[in-house]
Structure 1
């Protein structure tokens, strides 16, 4: 990806101009005729002395030059145009310049390439993001343009692109990108609310918004400095990053962010109508104001103001005017630890609890968590740095305690013995392998242990939670979802892993990690959580006759060392295979099967999680 213009004296010019200002053809730098050169590729390997292209190896102030093919003219300068100023407006969402190096000087990877880093930002899928060549871009609402890098050890990095500054009070120089169209702004909700400039500063559940310029109680990078065109004034609800609606960070230390109720621009909508019904809850749901009106068993709720079929006088709209006791919606006016409830229309049952899911933020970098949970915990981001040892569970190493905080241990209630692994993907859900659940058909037979490092002699602060529901994967896939009987407490030792984008393909030779308490075959570390690094192997390679002979399906992926010595074994089934992407660990595989254990030419096989993301999200949403 060559730039045919120069900056400064052209020392860094690597274009293909091969003639001088007067039109003379350039002599190849490696040739000795007609001129014996002083600057040759062997002596100056970093100066780009390829072919006969104009270069500036001696840092001449007059710019790039070359030896000529005219015996009477030893050298002459070349006429290389100046690069126009590279700058960006706002956060660079519309930047179309040609900078292709990161802030630390790394070369950018082409957007249409999956090497060295596999990614989901394919130009064909984002036609409006101008993902051309390997130029720095901002397709995902970051504070400024960035790119994947050509360095295997650095997946992505921001680019150093200055903001376009006004040339005069009347005019802004467009640089290599035009300013985003200003368009109309609104005092009401239109579309996703990206043009909303009203003064609503309270979330849908009544929390006061945190000022965008402040970092307490919640640290963040959605600041006025990073998003100068998004009108992040005061603490008003805004949508700077393409969310589904305006939102804000809250001043409640227990709730990181929440959507806001902004009146619709539709004249038919009431000015007080809640545009974004929050049918999920934070903490114990005391602030829940959604419209669920049936109990967990499906019984219709009695109106809070009604006295039939059950007479009551404690929880009414008059006695609790701030509790949101309108109509017959599920509420939690008394702060019940079990969450929202209601009086029922069943004469034989005075009240019952409602099945209101916890609110989970699907927009990184954080997720909202219940009141008794540790704050500002991002999925896929352990608080303890993993060892990242090469090798794997057989032949791997003992993990740093709690460095893989999504690791789950599946056990039977009867024996309490670990028999399969799993992965926490949200406070209420664990992903595992379907074959792990074949011994007992009822989910009530199982429990999950979270936050453990030791397989036996569990630490006092581990969380043991019963399983309430189980769901088998579609089409006989070896994947299953477990719903916990109560949400896990998110702490430094218990953090969910992130799910990948739907149908995401992990690139061949991507280094990933597997963890588990399985069989170690005498390699030490038995009884402690172990980890190991291993490469993903392209299915085409894995299905060769000498490996797994065509047994691996498109819904599965292979990983392991073909030399053997590193593999997952019995007891690791259902456990996670995670890959580090951008700044977090993504769950890409569920340990499924293999031929033998750590055998030469027989890598392990994992369910490809990305092929089931739609199913996973559907099950979680409906249950």
Structure 2
């Protein structure tokens, strides 16, 4: 073929050569051969064309796949137990996937032109060694390191400085062959659609800034952690599109530019054919292709190609694969459900009401009524095929993956495929008639596990008894501090005199310390008590007319032992539609405190982080800087605080964060008594950042806006929203600072509100709850597109520790 161009020198005729891939992909990246594959644990493909081999390791099985000559190997399955290797001609795009224990599925990555290839391959496709780019013999090059300093022309490695369509090449050491192409697997250097599946290695932004590594929090802290987005391939510092932007982007290494788009060209080849669109709502409705064009509030949708009345970037050009036709409702960017910009100038965008594909009647979102302190736990009958409860954790404490989700594990157990299995939300179910209910997990390394459920008794119920007496309970035979909370039955003084009953006026008349004047002091019968906080401990009036009162001899208790963040009562973990949340199981959030005025009126929340320290919001302390203006109530479920478990503490010190962040510490006048109803929460690691997918929980006695449960502690669960998304114009428009985080349901309906300020946002980490946020501010309560904003606790761990140590 007659060719022209600077690398050809004089035009010459080259014979056509066959193109084949090398056997080992790791030559490209100088790593493991498995780097060229995507790994899924506990998966199996249904009836693909395959070859079966014996293999001692996954790497050995990968070599079988690379060298397969019966067909083009796209994936392989390996079972370590049987040392069996199956090379496959199909992958999860073309074959059905199902669960199988002890199996691991590896799929080849979809891997342009190699302009950014920086590997060390230095031979042509015919095996001829490459000439160094800086050398002039045997061929005088047109492409040199001096002329093309950014093309990576080091040594004699294969490169593509002229963006040749056929990929990387080099000048050869054969005097008769000026240049030839290299045999390097094709990596995707262009993008289809909006680059959601781009897996290339571009690592600079449109303005030339170097990208920050995804696993780094410097210079920009963020929630796009590789372990939380395993299917997004957030590797090294490569440009990616994990969140529905118009094209790939990255955080930058410039402290003054948080993130920027990358310049990835669109592929000239057509994108993969889309799956057939639905006319109804399934999951988030990303495949909805119906013609609904009115929002849930009755506003007509704006055409996607129009910029009036609302200017936007969700255009057919930016999202070419999302069928942004006419003004039909769509979900191009991974929202909760289909939406559109509206023709109403006062409403930028709204969700649409799309009929569900599920034939089942939707679940009743009614708020639960308050429960009694003894909780009835869910259980299953038989093998649990009929179980329809709301348990959503496995036997090892892992949270369940939603059945409608394909992340982190792809599967075929969907409501569409199993319409009678009750596969709603992420609740434990048994769609395949296994031995008991199970679920896929949110842990990328564990595909599925059985659920933490008990089998029912004969009445179909499994009752959870009240927690047994533990080392956390108040010991009746000893006192903590000065014994104000002592409720034992010692009724003799240190000198052996019998105590007078508190309700009696004989032999000693007393008007002040009676059960009526001090109803919370435990003045029962004639037991030793300390109603006035005497520093020397419990005392009583005596039955000796010659001695009015004496101290009692009660020993001090040893320091309490406890585990932070572990409740003695199982929390409900309500993630339904605080405003419109659920009434909590009593005492299931034992670190929640009520911050009150000196006369006992609740106005803010807070969190016990140590027996003598409470974390709250600084704006809760604006009315007074005097500690005496506040009281802390602990161990309560009802706002009226009538339970015997309630502890009340004065505030000794209040310390606001010195740089005026909305976070403050309260030192209690004396430590709280740690028991089954009062337990501190765990604090996060310094500067740790949540991903954008954690389900976290908020609690409080705040304004419920008429949604029932008023007067009881309520809870709700919702996801953390990455600041990059929360700061979009349609959400909070840049108001959220780096030391804050967003959480909430974008479509509204659930939120913290007035009276919840200062309270905790906690997330389950393994089997403990960790406080990641302090309720701070929001635009209204439970409004669409206006999630709540919380102070990021991990940013203030050094300050918290230093305050507690110095006070």
Q: Give the shorter-chain TM-score range.
A: 0.3 to 0.5
Q: Which structure is richer in relative contact order (CA contacts within 8 A, separation 6 or more)?
A: 1
TM-score, normalising length: structure 2: 0.37
TM-score, normalising length: structure 1: 0.47
